[in-house]
Structure 1
């Protein structure tokens, strides 16, 4: 049985797209990129995924590590890592990157996506949710990076797009934004 660790520790629930992806992805070695305090990592860990959770913020990683220790979860590793370096060192069956890319240096995004793709095992999955800025829906939040229409789809040419949309959504603070949402499977 899944205990709601997120509410127990005052974290937001796991991202809805991570929850949806877990309906088709079997537990495997997983990377949670930009994990913050670990809302997705804890959810995935409870489902039996072996999770490496990375974030540039040492305070967030310390918070996650204290929860991991308290709950005795040996299938989650929490590491301080700068995603901007585009230097993943292990291969994964599932890489999740939800609402993270918009905080990345724009010059590094292509390299980061290429690194994610390279480090995904054949038949493995990438999940990306990222804010967009388009003519119809200019992004009202001054993120360092936003996707343009079709940009994420183009980056995953040759992958099986399980889900892809560029819909307007609402952030937890109420701001209306257009997001690119993609779950893609690497050819086996």
Structure 2
């Protein structure tokens, strides 16, 4: 298998937070929420995770399925799923949700977070990266949802926050905005 499938298929590299989470999180069952064309799923699979990759876009999933077929991979299962439904049907050791929550309706975010937490095995991890909107840094993009300062960490009270920050970052389109970034471990 090629060292970097993302490069081979012209995809963006895996999200930097997924890459750094892999330094702490041992391979197991992973869920890539809002996988798009699979940049994070491919990275995780190459590191020994068994990945369920879900997205609401059938075209993106088709692209990922094409790569899986060409590479003869069995570590990734693409599934059409709207994360807004908050009805995951399996448990995971690692759930990654990077730059995805800001595209769902604000009224569904609490349910999605609760579902992620419930479907994370004891001792498992949630990784979330999401845009913020704060008085100091109003969000320049018109996302349906953005976190307020402290909102994400409050939602994970009782979990071990291995990484948490609300730093400025840059979207892949160059827009500068504040992100809530969290890697949390569920109590064992």
Asked whether 1:21 is paired with 2:21, we answer yes
In the TM superposition, what is the alpha-carbon distance from 1:174 to its structure 2 partner? 1.1
CA distance in 1: counterparts of 2:119 and 2:10, whole angstroms = 32
Q: In the alignment, is residue 165 of structure 1 matched against residue 165 of structure 2?
A: yes
Deviations 1:24-66 (A, max 9, x none): 1110000000000000000000111000000000000000001
Taking structure 1 as the reference length, the TM-score comes to 0.99
CA deviation vs aligned residue, 1:2-21 (integer Å, no higher than 9, x gap): 61110111100000000000
State how far apart, in whole Å, the 1-side matches of 2:173 and 2:67 are.
25
| Aligned residue in 1 for 2:41 | 41
Aligned CA distance change for structure 1 residues 16 and 2 (closer, same or farther; 3 Å): farther
Match of 1:78 in 2: 78
Q: How many Å separate the matches in 1 of 2:112 and 2:2?
A: 32
What are the Cα deviations for residues 162-185 of structure 1, in whole angstroms up to 9, with x where unaligned?
A: 000000111111111000000000
* Residues 96-154 of structure 1: CA deviation (Å, up to 9, x unaligned): 00000000111000000000000000000000000000000000000000000000000
1:105 aligned partner = 105
1: CA distance, partners of 2:178 / 2:99? 12
CA RMSD of aligned residues (A): 0.8
1:175 and 1:40 map into 2 onto residues whose CA distance is: 21
| Corresponding residue SS for 1:169 | strand
Distance 1:173 1:88 in 2: 30
- Residue 17 of structure 1 aligns to a residue whose secondary structure is helix
Partner residue in 1 for 2:96: 96
Matching residue of 2:143: 143
Structure 2 gaps of 5+ residues are none
Distance in 2 separating the partners of 1:92 and 1:149: 28
Counterpart of 2:131 in structure 1 is: 131
Residue ranges of structure 1 left out of the alignment (5+ in a row): none
Flag the 1:143–1:122 CA change in 2: closer, same or farther, 3 A.
same
Runs of 4 or more above 3 Å deviation:
none
